[in-house]
Amino acid sequence: MAVFSADDYSVTVAGVDLSDHLQSVELSVSRAELDTTNFDSNGNAERIGGRKDASVSLNFMQDYAASEVEATIWPLYTSTSGHGTIVIKPTSSSTSSTNPSYTVVALVNDWKPIPAVDPAGLPVASVTWPVSGAVTRGTA
């Protein structure tokens, strides 16, 4: 896959395809920087990668119908663990080396069942959830 138009992302939350209710999605991964500079570094900073971290940001167009946004997210938010599995792919095609899937378990620690909106506006619930555990990249 070369450069492509990002108009066919596939996003499932807790096994429910919510792609048609998302305005945007972003998966951010980072790694802590550990300073290993020592007296033998010749005046240069030296670093290694430490603990990994990730978060997923989603902008949901709110929908209260069965098996849609609110019916999917609210039980995750109110559950004991508060976690939900999210799978993101660049296109709705099958997972492959040119259409990898990214699977995360996110802590649903923030939800906006009634998002801020003006009388003529679209209710969009914007959230950023921290990832608990590893980001898994699938290619098959």
Residue 18, CA atoms < 13 Å, CB-side half-sphere? 30
What three-state secondary structure class fits 132?
coil
Average pLDDT, integer, range 29-33:
97
- C-beta atoms surrounding 112 within 10 Å: 14
Q: Are 73 and 129 in contact (CB under 8 A)?
A: no
What three-state secondary structure class fits 14?
coil
Res 120: pLDDT: 83
Res 10: pLDDT: 97
The answer on pLDDT for 14 being more than 90 is yes
Res 118: pLDDT: 81
Res 1: pLDDT: 54
pLDDT, averaged across the chain:
95
- pLDDT, one tens digit per residue, over 71-100 is 999 999 999 999 999 999 999 999 999 999
pTM: 0.92
Q: Which of 29, 3, 6, 2 is nearest to 92 (CA)?
A: 6
Res 2: pLDDT: 73
What is the 3-state secondary structure of 72-89? HHHHHHHCCCCEEEEEEE
Domain boundary assignment for the chain: 10-32+49-138
The answer on pLDDT for 140 being more than 70 is yes
